[in-house]
Chains A and B, each alone.
Chain A
Amino acid sequence: MSATEDRLTNDLLRPLFNTSWRFYVLVAVLSSIVLAGLGAFAFQMWRGFGLTGLGWPIYWGFFITDFVFWIGISHAGTLISAILRLVDAGWRKPVTRCAEGITAFALMIGGLFPIIHLGKPWLFFWLVPYPNNRLIWPNFRSPLVWDFFAISTYLTGSLLFLFLPMIPDFALVRDRATGLRSKIYGVLALGWRGTTRQWHNLETAMSIMAVAIIPVAVSVHTIVSFDFSMAPVPMWHSTIFGPYFVAGAIFSGIAGLIIAMAALRHFLHIEEYLTPKHFDNLGRLLLLMALLWGYFTFNERLTVWYGNHEAEVNTFMVTQSGTFSPLFWTMVVVNFVLPVIILGIKRFRTITGCVIASFGVCIGMWLERFLIVVPSLGHKYFPYSWSFYRPRPTEIVITAATFAGMVLLYALFSKFVPIISIWELKQGAHQPHQPDPIEDVEIAEAELHRTHA
């Protein structure tokens, strides 16, 4: 093992072995917010769902918005890392694990919302097909049952996709640690010895997973979009929703990833590994997605306006110029105008620029989902039944708790797992201080074969 590799290992394993007091404070604060959320959920189950701000006929609100938002964020990792893996983009290597972590955690959180939002959450397992004494299967025609399959498949796939490349790094930790820690990482490393056969199996498994996870990821958000587009609700019942949702998901996913990377870079002092180059590349991707999102949104709204179907125009009008217009135009600014300006001008496409744009996009994409869910439900066909929705504390606390939960899970993740794939980086990294550590993939691979030959 070269000195460079040694340094790399030390740099990246440092968070696992050294923990500052600040970290404990962070965990304590985040945990208390999460606990508040759990308490709110328990209270809501005890007292009744009426603690939310929902009412006739707007029966979906914050929770479903959160659901779609977090499932969207989950498209950060898997899709990005899988696609980059398949096209073998070398710069991806320090990014993949950050991204895949986001996927796994966002999915776990997003997957909770269909349960939280149930009138009877304790019966959520009725969505699961299992032999039961009610002699009744779930209704396979229901998009909610599709959701169950899509999300559980995607979660399984992403966890595998996350776990597989962690094996060599777990082995590394196992070898460096002592005592209990060594044992735990030993179990996680699944007996990794770094044999050629093991490397070969890992590479094969990763290739298969990378291919398999892409259609799953695309389908999962398409199916989430089906929750809306299958219902005859004004501005829901649209064929554009599948790709629109997938694009939106990737859009918000990249934004989430940029924020997470910037945070890791700052707090874990791994500036050398997550370089401006990475942010520049992701910024370009984000710009692309912003343009794509703008295109979809324009398309969606133009067809509605031009089609001039009465009920749809009503919904269109309340978002465009009615009570929801402040939210709508905020969304347009932070989702389109702001990212295009910041990321489209090279001078602004710095790390700070990217982070600002990403925060905007996260807010904007949350608003986008809110603006899909609520105005349509509040403006269905008969104006007599139009209504308002205002969230109540329960929903706000639970929503806040999921954001805290995401940060908490991610912080803990970065504590227990090397947040940058050490072995992947080693494949090509001799000089981690170089702006682009992986310049020549071929050399790296040749070296890899030589090492393990």
Chain B
Amino acid sequence: MDRRSFIKLTAITGTSAALASCGSPENTVIRFVPDDEMAPGLAEWKPSVCPLCNSGCGLNVRVMQADVETTRDGTRGVVQRAVAKKLEGLPTHPVNQGGLCARGQAAIQLTYHPDRLAQPLKRSGQRGEGKFEPMTWEAAVAELVGKLDALAAAGNQKGLTIIGDGRRSQRASLFDQFVAKFGGTLSVRHEVFGDAVLRRANGMSFGVEQLPTYDLKHTRSAINFGGDILGTWNSPVAHANAYGAMRRGRPGVRGAYFHVESRVTTSGAGADEWVGITPGTEGVLALAIAHVMLEEKLLPAVSGRATALIDGWASGLADYEPARAEKITGVGAARIAHIARQLAEQSPSVALVGGPALAYSNGLFTALAVNALNQLFGTVQKPGGIAFTPQGVTADSRPSRSTLAAFASAVAGGTQPAGVLLLDGGNPVFASSKAWRVREAIEKFPYIVSFGSFIDETSALADLILPDHSFLESWVDALPESGSLVPVVSVAGPVMKPLFDTRASEDVLLDVARTLAKPVDFPWRTFDEMLKATIDLHGEDAWSTAQSHGGWWPETSQGEAASGQPPTARGAASVTPPSPSAGDAGRFIDPVLAGDADVYPYQLLPYPSLQFLDGSLAHLPWLQELPDPITSAMWSSWVEINPTTAESLGVSLGDVVEVASSLGAVRAPVFVNPGLSPTVIAMPVGQGHTNYTRYASGRGQNPIEILAPATVAGTDAFAWAATRVKVTRVSDPDGSLILFSARGELRERPYEGVTR
């Protein structure tokens, strides 16, 4: 190209570029000078903490530059800034050891969600109408302070309370302390699929009211009674890590795995033997196994605290001989004996329990029975058995709490004065049975403040919304209750600057505490000071190490775990005094199901979905489009029915059915699941939001609504698997069931036997 044509071409392209950008404002980008120090094109990895569940996994966040739209001095423009790009598991973290579940990885979308609240909001329409108008932080904080001062002035401090999610963290502790110091009522920490039953059982059996950690890495054989340990329950990443090591981590040794449940889960999928059982009878099977072991003297008979709680243990569990257990559980007597022998032969063995097994009226018995079995195995607090994670933060920051159901009835009954309600996650309106009348109770509060980043069914009722930073933009912490053999405190600072005009809720609360007419006294000015204060207890440089490592744990963690040292319950959480008798929980009583068996012939099993857990993650598009591991469904909710049952109901894949309990009905398409008991109808929990961002609203059905308000005997825990339902066919497929495996093929060789 010669000079002349070069100049011509330059002129032409220059002119056309200038013309092209005229008129359309998105082409006239103002670029601000970057205010960050960062190396363009280079990724930096920073630690953080996953905020989604109780596991408290450590995150490794990839941070790189990106063009962020922002407003500076009233001008819209773009600035280059370091932002989070990907979440990975923190390789050095004792809980997740580099792995991270699907949900944890999708957590990054919490920060970048298009419907995230960008500034404080004030209700402008009727309550529940969902109309809000923006306001400044100063005005918002002043308004909250005013309301609290008014409460205090009226001597109605009891009217302050809080409903939050069940995460164990110092954040939760700060909120609880605030309420307590102000003089408010005990907070409600609500989880649909809570673990109160197992904590209580462990307190009774082992003196430790805490969820167990399973040392599967060193286990030779394991039997799991219903706990979805690898999918949704307790600390799935830690379990999966240990499970992998149990199977293939030791040369020449492959741990055997038995799984007992009434609906196949991802945790049951890999089992050497999957044992389908009549729901609610898991405890009988556990004791029948113990019976065989005792009778055949496969293991030395032991008696201890856990076994003493079981009626008839000393006399060899005569009530639980396999032949009788077969009638109750539906598991063949020969099979029971076979499993017992296998478990006894391959020691160390461990028995796990969780999930729906504990969500029947007799759940406490089931947990105690499995605990007794573990004691018989002789592996409690031993390698390959169950352990209790020593707690890194020793001070018990958890005041005893009320359940959501009790709270609602207290409000309705007037014993709980309704003043100011703080909402810190948990979405109680969505995640509760209609029968509890939670929405009505919440609406009784004259002033409701939400700290959430999104409008959901509960925060839609709020008068004031003070949106929190995302966990990547602020200090974040977690106190793992289990999943590690060493104490762990997960703590991390912000990995990126806030995208919006949001504030860290902990700091807002501390700010409010100082500003009150009668200030609530805290020794810290900011949340990170609080975190530092607890970590400082572990040594002088613990805080600086914690900041670079993503938390505090003993340096020897890896070595100790690998060497197979017996884990002990050093500094374990609250220990209850030994209980002389378990009462009714010491023997099997048929599970009580809500509803008339003649009208409602099936049991409804609502299970936490692998994508959304209790529904709190349904707003993340990655998880909506993540195929369910059993059905391959995306963007849908569905009803799982056993093939035989489906045939008798005259329904097949995709047909819409109505599942009705005495409290109401939900409609969803059918998925025929061969891994489901014929007497059980299963539904995933998570969809069915009416108001939860563009991705979750108006999609699917929420089975929690129609659950009967039953509790597990001997506890105040919600028996969420104890509702009877009937099923009726409504219509042909309506296209609402979207399967990634579009034909819903169940078998690898669907035509096997048809042509041969």
- Asked if B24 lies at the interface with its beta carbon under 8 angstroms from chain A, I say no
Q: What CA separation (Å) do A386 and B750 show in the bound complex? A: 11
Given the interface contacts A305-B755, A317-B754, A384-B632, does A310 sit within 8 Å of B743 by beta carbon? no
A386, B742: Cβ atoms under 8 Å? yes
Q: Collect the chain B residues with CB atoms within 8 Å of residue A313's CB.
A: 751, 755
Cα(A385)–Cα(B740), bound, Å: 8
What does DSSP make chain A's interface, helix, strand, loop or mixed? helix
A383 near B748: Cβ-Cβ < 8 Å = yes
Number of interface residues of A (CB under 8 A): 15
The verdict on A314 contacting B756 (CB below 8 Å), with A384-B632, A386-B741, A386-B742 known, is no
Q: Is B72 an interface residue (CB 8 A)?
A: no
Residues of A contacting B741 in the complex (Cβ-Cβ under 8 angstroms): 383-386
Whether A308 lies near B754 (C-beta < 8 A) is no
B residues in contact with A55, CB < 8 Å: 742
The answer for the CA separation of A55 and B738 in the assembled complex, in Å, is 13
A219 within 8 A of B: no
One digit per residue, 1 when the CB lies within 8 angstroms of any chain B CB and 0 when it does not, for chain A 113-152 equals: 0000000000000000000000000000000000000000
Q: Contacts A308-B756, A384-B632: A317 and B742 contacting too (C-beta < 8 A)?
A: no
Q: Which of B745, B747, B749, B754 has the most CB of A within 10 A?
A: B745
Contact with B along A352-394 (1 / 0, CB 8 A): 0000000000000000000000000010001111111000000
Q: How many Å from the CB of B635 to the closest CB on chain A? A: 15
Whole-angstrom CA separation of A378 from B742 in the bound complex: 10
Q: Report whether A386 and B751 are in contact in the complex, using a CB–CB cutoff of 8 Å.
A: no
The answer on a CB contact under 8 Å between A384 and B755 is no
Bound CA–CA A33/B745 (angstroms)? 40
Contact residue among A317, A378, A383, A387 (Cβ-Cβ distance under 8 Å from B755): A317
Residue of A nearest to B748 (CB): A383
By secondary structure, the B interface counts as loop
CA distance A313 to B755 in the complex (A): 8
- Given A308-B755, A317-B755: A383 in contact with B742 (beta carbons within 8 A): no
Query: Which residues of B lie under 8 Å from residue A382 when comparing CB positions?
Result: 748
Contact with A along B625-644 (1 / 0, CB 8 A): 00000001000000000000
B749–A310 CB distance below 8 A: yes
Chain B nearest Cβ from A389, distance in angstroms: 10
Annotate B719-756 by CB proximity to A: 1 below 8 A, 0 otherwise. 00000000000000000000001110101111100111
With the chains together, A263 CA to B231 CA distance in Å?
Answer: 67
- Min CB–CB distance A442 → chain B (angstroms): 60
List residues of chain A with CB within 8 A of the CB of B748. Answer: 382-383
How far, in angstroms, from A322 to B747 measured CA to CA in the complex?
Answer: 16
Inter-chain CA distance A31–B743, complex, in Å, is 40
For A308, the chain B residues whose CB sits under 8 A away are 755-756
Inter-chain contacts of A387 with B (CB < 8 A): 742-743
Q: Count how many pairs of residues, one from A and one from B, have CB atoms less than 8 Å apart in the complex.
A: 33
Residues of B in contact with A, size category: 10 to 19
Complex formed: what's the CA distance from A335 to B366 in Å? 66
Question: A383 and B754: CB pair below 8 A?
Answer: no
Beta-carbon nearest neighbor of A318 in chain B = B751
How would residues 286 to 312 of chain A score, 1 for a CB under 8 Å from any chain B CB and 0 otherwise? 000000000000000000010010100
Whether A317 pairs with B743 at a CB distance below 8 angstroms is no
- Most chain B Cβ neighbours within 10 Å, of A383, A386, A387: A383
Contacts of B750 in A (CB 8 A): 314, 383
Contact B743 A314 (CB under 8 A): no
Residues of B near A383 (CB, < 8 A) are 741, 743, 745, 747-750
By beta carbon, the residue of chain B nearest A322 is B751
Q: Once bound together, how far apart are the Cα atoms of A388 and B754, in whole Å?
A: 22
Across the two chains, which residue of chain A brings its CB closest to B741? Answer: A384
Docked complex: B181-234 residues within 8 A CB-CB of A: none
Q: Is the pair A388, B755 in contact by a Cβ cutoff of 8 Å?
A: no
Residue contact A388 to B749, C-beta cutoff 8 Å? no
- A415: shortest Cβ distance to chain B, in Å? 46
List of B residues within 8 angstroms of A386 by Cβ:
741-743, 745
* Cβ A388 vs Cβ B742 within 8 A: yes
Check A317–B745 contact: CB distance below 8 A. Answer: no
By a CB distance below 8 angstroms, the chain A residues around B756 are 308
Question: Given the complex of chains A and B, what is the CA–CA distance between A382 and B745 in angstroms?
Answer: 10
CB-defined contacts of A305 to chain B, threshold 8 Å: 755
Report the separation of the CA atoms of residues A310 and B749 in the bound assembly, to the nearest whole angstrom.
Answer: 8
Chain B nearest CB from A156 CB (Å) reads 38
User: Which residue of chain A has the shortest Cβ distance to B743 in the bound complex?
Assistant: A386
In the complex, what residue of chain A is closest to B756 when comparing beta carbons? A308
Q: What is the bound-complex CA distance between A388 and B733, given in angstroms?
A: 15
Nearest residue in A to B742 (C-beta to C-beta)?
A: A387
Shortest distance between the CB of A322 and any CB in chain B (Å): 9
Q: Which residues of A contact B743 (CB under 8 A)?
A: 378, 383, 386-388
Residue of B632, B741, B755 with highest tally of chain A CB at under 10 A: B755
Bound CA–CA A310/B741 (angstroms): 19
Interfacial residues of chain B within 677-698, with CB under 8 A of chain A in the complex: none
Q: Is the CB of A384 within 8 A of B745?
A: yes
Q: Once the chains are docked, how many angstroms separate the CA of A308 from the CA of B751?
A: 11
Q: How far is the CA of A383 from the CA of B743 in the complex (A)?
A: 8
- Distance in Å: Cβ of B365 to nearest Cβ of chain A: 40
Q: Which residue of B lies closest to A379 (CB)?
A: B743
**Can you name the residue of chain A whose Cβ is closest to the Cβ of B747?**
A383
Residues in A with CB closer than 8 Å to B751 are 313-314, 317
State in angstroms the CA–CA spacing of A378 and B741 once bound together: 11
Complex CA gap A384/B754 in Å reads 19
A296–B743 Cα distance when bound, in Å, is 30
Return the chain B residue nearest A58 by Cβ: B742
Q: Note all chain B residues with C-beta closer than 8 A to A385.
A: 741
Query: Chain A residue with minimal CB distance to B755?
Result: A313
Cα A382 to Cα B754 with chains together (Å): 18
Listed from nearest, the 5 A-B pairs whose CB atoms lie closest are A383-B745, A387-B742, A386-B743, A384-B741, A317-B751
Given contacts A317-B754, A384-B632, 5 further A-B contacts (CB under 8 A): A308-B755, A310-B749, A314-B750, A317-B755, A383-B741
Interface residues of B (CB under 8 A from A): 632, 741-743, 745, 747-751, 754-756
A-B contact pairs, 8 of them (CB 8 A): A305-B755, A313-B755, A314-B750, A383-B745, A383-B747, A383-B750, A386-B741, A387-B742
